[in-house]
Each structure stands twice: as C-alpha cells, then as structure tokens.
Homo-oligomer: A and B are copies of this chain.
Amino acid sequence: MNIPELQQKFNGQYKLTRQREIIFHTLTDHAGRHLSAEDIYNTVRQQYPEIGLATIYRAMELFNNLGIVQKLDFGDGCHRYELCDHHSRQHHHMICIVCGKVIEMAGYLPDKFEPDISHMNDFSILDYQLYFYGYCKECQSKYRK
C-alpha cells in the first residue's frame, strides 16, 4: 500500500493531510509491529511536533473504517493497530492469558472457510483476526488447566 492507493481509498471524500501522510508512513515503516495510538503519536511527533494525540485516534478510526488498518486488542489496556495487507492475512496471535505475552505465528485460514460465511450473511469481509488464548511456556505452572 502506498500514497496513491491511500488517496484512492479516500475517494475524494477525505483529504490527504500532511498528518495523515506521516501517520501512514509510520505504519508502513513499522509493518508487522503492533502500535498503540501512543506509540504512533511518539513516532510522528519526532517529525511533526505539533501533532495532537486526538489526530492519531481520528486517523486510526478512519483507516480502520476504510480497511487500511486492523484494530487489535491483546488485553493490555489499549488498542493496537496494524496495517492490513497480504501479510496480515497470514499470521495470527497467541496471547498468554496470565502474563499477556503475544506470540505471532504464521498460518492462514483454509481457503474455503471465508467465502461461505460472507455469502451466508450478506456481509462483505475485508479481513479477519484469529486469536489463540492459553498459557505460554513460562505460565503453564502458575494456573492449572
């Protein structure tokens, strides 16, 4: 995904401001990372000190609505954002329910899984998120199964 594609997604309705452009670049520069609004804020601030945190939240809401980012929840008290791209469809997250550790793993849903559902519910699917919950190696002894 690049700036012209972003413009295209904006479809004339939303404007490509300097702030949104820098935020977008922050996301592409950290592809594969799980950035919180605060993380993005701190990064963008280095290049554009006047930026407000509210702008980050507003951009994330727009990007999420347009299917540009996924909003993730690992249960650590804030939402995290990750670009939607080919890569994002091929990894999932395992979260330790005791210590909160997040482990990424490769994998994708079986091909036939998704289209069926979409058709069944008049729901146009852009993306999905698959979370596995359990005990990481270190925490397996602390809580019983």
Contact = CB atoms under 8 A, between A and B. Distances in A.
Interface in A100-145: 103, 105, 107, 109-110, 113-114, 117-118, 120-137, 140, 143-145
Interface in A71-99: 71, 73, 75, 79, 94, 96-98
Contacts of A120: 105
Contact of A124 (B11, B66, B75, B135): B135
Interface residues of A, number: 46
Contact of A105 (B67, B117, B129): B117
Contacts of A107: 113, 117
A91 to B, nearest CB: 11
A18 B102 CA distance: 34
11 contacts: A67-B133, A105-B121, A107-B117, A110-B113, A117-B132, A118-B134, A124-B145, A126-B145, A127-B132, A129-B133, A130-B130
